[in-house]
């Protein structure tokens, strides 16, 4: 059993050659110095809107052989925290699961459940994979979708992920997939997103969680980002650097209703 692409030819090119060319154009030159990172945060819109920023972010990061990808569950299928345990078919080839970390998570976590329905239609993780494939030929992934859960549960899941990474004793990147504010004016979206990004760059997961809820910021992946910040801090992270911030209006020209995008590297 293999997971088939859900959004090829919609969010990104479905042709392997065209996808390779598109991703290559978004990635920095090979001579660009890449930083070791504990985690990264990358947007997940259609490539015409956020592909350049995703390329800037992931292209400046050393991509190890294993990447744990956390994304929001947009469709509400499956359990609150769902892990995919099957290989992913992508236009550029099959991407295997990291069985060691997947088995560790399933055997030790009280919260993470194996479920393929949660991943079947979800785009937030899938759109990250072509960039990772382009930079790491021996890529293995650990895909996790997350629904709206409490901060206390975020803490539990983050601790479980961090413990498994420590036990596996190998290089692993945690990648949180999120867009920022949705369908607000550029002025309002930028103001709200600045509040959220201030908490992220301060490595303040609880502050981020509370800010999103209290200010009603429509950041779809704030739960994956909260978990990522918590886990990264447990793994020794001391800083989060903003790569860039932009919005859909930069492509569409419509600044009355934009979606915000941010890229960050946590080390």
Instruction: Give pLDDT tens digits for 202-220.
Output: 999 999 999 999 999 999 9
Predicted local confidence at residue 240, as pLDDT: 98
Predicted TM-score (pTM) above 0.95: yes
Angle at 264 between CA 31 and CA 58, to 5 degrees: 40
User: What's the whole-number mean pLDDT along residues 31-40?
Assistant: 89
Residues 236 and 181: their CA atoms lie apart, in Å, by: 29
Predicted local confidence at residue 169, as pLDDT: 87
Residues 25 and 92: their CA atoms lie apart, in Å, by: 16
Provide the CATH number for the domain formed by 2-266 in this structure: 3.40.830.10
Confidence of residue 185 (pLDDT cuts 50, 70, 90): very high
What is the domain partition of the chain in residue ranges?
2-266
Angle at 82 between CA 59 and CA 96, to 5 degrees: 50
Res 93 pLDDT > 90: yes
Confidence of residue 30 (pLDDT cuts 50, 70, 90): confident
Predicted local confidence at residue 12, as pLDDT: 98
Res 26 pLDDT > 80: yes
Confidence of residue 33 (pLDDT cuts 50, 70, 90): confident
User: What's the whole-number mean pLDDT along residues 44-71?
Assistant: 98
Q: Measuring CA to CA, which residue among 77, 75, 97, 94 is closest to residue 85?
A: 97
Q: Measuring CA to CA, which residue among 254, 235, 102, 121 is closest to residue 186?
A: 254
Residues 159 and 213: their CA atoms lie apart, in Å, by: 22
Residue recorded with tokens 């990172």: 37
- Give strand pairing partners of 242: 264
């Amino acid at each position: 059993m293999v997971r088939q692409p859900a959004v090829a030819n919609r969010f990104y090119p479905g042709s392997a050659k065209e996808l390779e060319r598109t991703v290559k154009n978004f990635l920095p030159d090979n001579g660009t110095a890449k930083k070791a990172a504990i985690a990264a945060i990358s947007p997940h819109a259609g490539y015409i809107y956020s592909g350049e920023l995703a390329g800037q972010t992931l292209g400046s990061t050393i991509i190890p052989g294993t990447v744990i990808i956390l994304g929001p569950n947009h469709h509400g299928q499956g359990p609150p925290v769902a892990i995919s345990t099957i290989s992913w078919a992508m236009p550029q080839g099959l991407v295997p699961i990291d069985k060691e970390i997947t088995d560790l998570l399933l055997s030790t976590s009280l919260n993470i459940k194996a479920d393929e329905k949660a991943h079947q239609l979800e785009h937030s993780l899938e759109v990250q994979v072509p960039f990772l494939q382009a930079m790491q030929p021996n890529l293995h992934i650990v895909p996790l979708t997350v629904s709206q859960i409490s901060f206390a549960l975020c803490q539990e899941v983050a601790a479980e992920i961090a413990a498994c990474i420590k036990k596996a004793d190998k290089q692993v990147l945690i990648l949180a997939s999120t867009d920022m504010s949705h369908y607000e004016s550029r002025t309002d979206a930028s103001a709200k997103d600045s509040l959220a990004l201030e908490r992220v760059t301060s490595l303040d997961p609880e502050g981020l969680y509370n800010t999103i809820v209290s200010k009603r910021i429509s950041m779809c992946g704030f739960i994956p980002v909260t978990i990522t910040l918590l886990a990264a801090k447990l793994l020794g992270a001391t800083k989060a650097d903003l790569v860039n911030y932009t919005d859909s209006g930069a492509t569409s020209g419509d600044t009355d209703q934009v979606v915000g995008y941010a890229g960050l590297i946590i080390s």
